[in-house]
Amino acid sequence: MDLLWEIVQDKYNSRENRKYETLFTLANGYKGLRGALEFSKLGERGNFIAGIFDKNTAQVTEIVNCQDILGFNLYIEEELVDLDICEILNFTRKLNMKEGILSFQFEIKTPKGKIIKVASERFVSRNNVHRWAAKYLITPINFNGKILIENIIDGTITNNTLDPINTTKHFNVEELIDLKPGIALITSTIDKKIKIMEGTSLIGLNEEGNFLKERKFNKFGEKVRELYQIFAVKDNEYTIYKLGATYTSRDINCSIKEAFEKELKDFIYDGYEKEKDAHIKIWEKIWTNIDIKIKGDDLAQQGIRFNLFHLSSSAYEGDDKISIAAKGLHGEGYKGHVFWDTETFMLPFFIYTSPETAKALLMYRYNTLEGARKNAMLNGFKGAQFPWESADEGVEVTPKWGIDYLGNPVRIWTGDEEFHINSDITFAIWEYYRATNDEDFLKNYGLEIFLDTAKFWQSRVEYNKLKDRYEINNVIGPDEFHEHVNNNVYTNYLAKWSIKKSLELVEWIKNKDMSFFNNICIKLGLNNEDFKIWQDIQEKMYIPKSKDGRIIEQFEGYFDLKYIKITEYDENGMPVWPKDVELDKLGETQLIKQPDVIMLMLMLREEFDEDVRRENYKYYEERTMHKSSLSPSMYSIMGLSVGDSNNAYRYFIKAIMTDLNDNQGNTELGIHAANTGGAWQSVVFGFGGLSVDKDQRLNFNPWIPKQWNELSFNINWRKNIIKVTIKEDEVLFEASEPVEILVYNKCCKLEKDKVLSVKR
């Protein structure tokens, strides 16, 4: 296998189990299975199904950690094969990103001296999201004798197991089933009674055919198991397939038992290898669309693929009522909640590589509009207020309490004050529309979100009579170190942008379909009075600036805060807290957690000239602590757009290594999904220099670092697949349809399927 497609763990250390469980999670957007080792009890297993949330006694609604389906034990005589008890003679684990297969191989010696070799592989099917499977090859090395093979489904699983105060069980076990052979367990969530059926069956094959003959079935409380006994012969290899199926009452209206039983039966009939081949073929297709090739820099190549692999694994275009959580389907971190991370950081990847998935992700917001309306109403506003943290309904689920950097309990204000999420969503809708021309989506879904969030802003802004301007006070911008601030530029600017765009869309729909316009006005309670007010608000929205008008003040009063110099960096190049900073008083300093003004300038690049962007980049970069993984990739893009190429490469490496190096120190809680999208943006918008100009033309300003010989990727622009290859002194383009683009600000015409070379 090509190393550039692999992530390898060559040493076992139980203390790293949880980190590797995240790195080696396999997911298909419908389901995520943490990369836990069957042969260790240490770690935090996770089986997550997108859209299955529950609150029960937890602080807030959270993604349910469902019954554990990985249970697979081997006993040699009565000795359990356990990596934490036995002597490990050799061990390797590999994630094959090209094929979506996780494998391991080890040899261990039991306390009584029996040596056994076990090799295994596992996949969560991208061909059929209801299927997953594992294969085990077992070889006794120094003995003939009895081996017990135990297949278990464990319904005792809880969420927050390692946080005893918050440990919660989110389901009741309803049924333990003997499939004769095979086992299944049905659970039902506490609040909404969503039924989840998980089942697995073992198939043991060698030259004699089926060798799993002696079977025993048991129910142990909330666990169900089947046990096989074999008499193994030294040096003979025994192959066992474990085939699994999943169905929930979210998926279908009819009996999940029937659907499940049919699925597992068909799967057994098809066999492991057939499903695996189909799964690999789907990955092959996916990679054709999403792969980024970087020649000359193995670290960058492997790292970017790692990020693309997990990002693609986290989405499922077949369900438009789910989105991608901040930690993917890879862990319980952030409780499986959806943030602006999806729209602002991940969505561009889907827009430009798989627009259908992008649409499904945006539909999740449309389908949770009722929740957003409820939020606005409960907070005394009108229209729709999307939640800062979202689960299955769109109501606000941000916890009210958390732990600060000193480990003390702290009130979390983001759910009350981080209003910019509304415009992040409308901005994403616009970005999707611009790249796809999907008028049907804009008219039937996007428009309603624009108008109802504009209605929210109308009720949220405050008119300052004295200064004849509109203000938005008491907010949190993207930089969460500063709470309860007034007139955060990011928030105000994008609210203004969104209201302005809503007014343009009103004109657009009036021209297109007057009765549709009338209907939507009736539905949302809008009329010309409102549109007049919107016009006034967008004209008079207050945007703070510096005295000379160049550095934009992040919020009113930011310039007066204490300047603290960042001087030290850790082994991953991340800033270390300066000595004189008080961690519970960050709000009194100019230190920022992540880009805020710079984020705005990246999103609305054409509204800020290059010098202004450069000065603001320089100013804010030296104040940024990068305490969010969302940060480094964005600085790499802005750096490149203003000529700071040295730092761009450094930031890019930080972004792609966020989880591989665990440089935020919390990879064990799940993948940094927004960062995976940021990594893609860093390549395509940063090094590829792609932006869309005012006339909606693609504009490429590529530059590649000296470490790279060549960078290539594909983008989907209005169904036109454009292949881009960037070399040191030339850029090659090939499009599936004719299109006019700009390269280094010069107009170029691409002809269908013809390669065009542009010299630097």
95, 208 Cβ separation under 8 angstroms: no
Q: How far is the CB of 594 from ligand BGC (least distance, A)?
A: 6
Measure the CA–CA gap between 671 and 685, rounded to whole angstroms. Answer: 22
Q: How far is the CB of 675 from ligand BGC (least distance, A)?
A: 8
Nearer to ligand BGC, 525 or 665 (CB): 665
Decide the pairing of beta strands 698-700 and 739-743.
Answer: parallel
Q: What is the token pair recorded at 322?
A: 């789910």
What does the per-residue mask of binding to ligand BGC show for 54-73, with x meaning CB under 6 A? --------------------
Selecting among 480, 483, 553, 621, the annotated active-site residue is: 480
Rule CB under 6 A: which of 468-487 touch ligand BGC?
478, 480
Q: How far is the CB of 388 from ligand BGC (least distance, A)?
A: 8
Nearer to ligand BGC, 95 or 421 (CB): 421
Choose which of 22, 28, 594, 681 interacts with ligand BGC (CB under 6 A). 594
Nearer to ligand BGC, 326 or 537 (CB): 326
CA R_g for the chain: 27
User: Tokens 């009350």 appear where?
Assistant: 416
Q: How far is the CB of 478 from ligand BGC (least distance, A)?
A: 6
Strand positions, DSSP E, 207-256: 209-210, 214-220, 223-232, 238-248
How many helices (H) and strands (E) the chain has is answered by 20, 32
Q: What is the token pair recorded at 264?
A: 């597992």
Q: How far is the CB of 707 from ligand BGC (least distance, A)?
A: 29
Nearer to ligand BGC, 154 or 480 (CB): 480
SS3 242: strand
Measure the CA–CA gap between 693 and 355, rounded to whole angstroms. Answer: 20
DSSP 8-state code for residue 559:
G
What does the per-residue mask of binding to ligand BGC show for 667-686, with x meaning CB under 6 A? -------x------------
Measure the CA–CA gap between 171 and 613, rounded to whole angstroms. Answer: 51
User: Tokens 């506003």 appear where?
Assistant: 381
Nearer to ligand BGC, 138 or 324 (CB): 324
Rule CB under 6 A: which of 325-344 touch ligand BGC?
326, 334, 339-341
Nearer to ligand BGC, 351 or 630 (CB): 630
Looking at residue 757, its amino acid is S
Choose which of 97, 630, 698, 704 interacts with ligand BGC (CB under 6 A). 630
Q: How far is the CB of 339 from ligand BGC (least distance, A)?
A: 4
Report the b/e string of 571-582 with b at 16+ CB within 10 A.
eeebbebeeebe
What does the per-residue mask of binding to ligand BGC show for 374-403, with x meaning CB under 6 A? ------------------------------
Choose which of 110, 628, 636, 682 interacts with ligand BGC (CB under 6 A). 628
Q: How far is the CB of 196 from ligand BGC (least distance, A)?
A: 26
Nearer to ligand BGC, 82 or 483 (CB): 483
Nearer to ligand BGC, 326 or 642 (CB): 326
Measure the CA–CA gap between 654 and 197, rounded to whole angstroms. Answer: 40
Neighbours of 237 (CB within 10 A): 12
User: Tokens 């480094």 appear where?
Assistant: 632
Give the CA-trace dihedral at 484, 485, 487, 492, to 10 degrees.
-60
DSSP 8-state code for residue 727:
E
Rule CB under 6 A: which of 429-458 touch ligand BGC?
none
DSSP 8-state code for residue 86:
S
Q: How far is the CB of 338 from ligand BGC (least distance, A)?
A: 9
List 757's β-bridge partners, or say none: 732
Nearer to ligand BGC, 221 or 402 (CB): 402
Phi then psi for 296, rounded to 5 degrees?
100, -5
If we measure between CA atoms, which residue out of 211, 171, 214, 217 comes closest to residue 192? 171
Q: How far is the CB of 674 from ligand BGC (least distance, A)?
A: 5
Looking at residue 709, its amino acid is N
Measure the CA–CA gap between 455 and 470, rounded to whole angstroms. Answer: 15
Nearer to ligand BGC, 469 or 627 (CB): 627
User: Does 507 participate in catalysis according to the annotation?
Assistant: no
SS3 360: helix
Rule CB under 6 A: which of 297-326 touch ligand BGC?
326
* Inter-helix orientation angle 631-641/645-656, to 10°: 160
**241 lies in the site for ligand BGC, by CB under 6 A:** no
Q: What is the token pair recorded at 189?
A: 């969530």
Residues 6 or more apart in contact with residue 243 via CB below 8 angstroms: 131, 133, 200, 201, 203, 264, 267, 268, 272
List 723's β-bridge partners, or say none: 714, 734
Q: How far is the CB of 544 from ligand BGC (least distance, A)?
A: 21
Q: What is the token pair recorded at 492?
A: 């105000």
Measure the CA–CA gap between 603 and 428, rounded to whole angstroms. Answer: 10
Q: How far is the CB of 430 from ligand BGC (least distance, A)?
A: 20
30, 319 Cβ separation under 8 angstroms: yes
Nearer to ligand BGC, 120 or 426 (CB): 426
Nearer to ligand BGC, 454 or 630 (CB): 630
Neighbours of 299 (CB within 10 A): 14
Measure the CA–CA gap between 744 and 730, rounded to whole angstroms. Answer: 11
Q: How far is the CB of 575 from ligand BGC (least distance, A)?
A: 15
User: Applying CB under 6 A, which residues contact ligand BGC?
Assistant: 326, 334, 339-341, 478, 480, 593-594, 628, 630, 674
Residues identified as active-site: 480
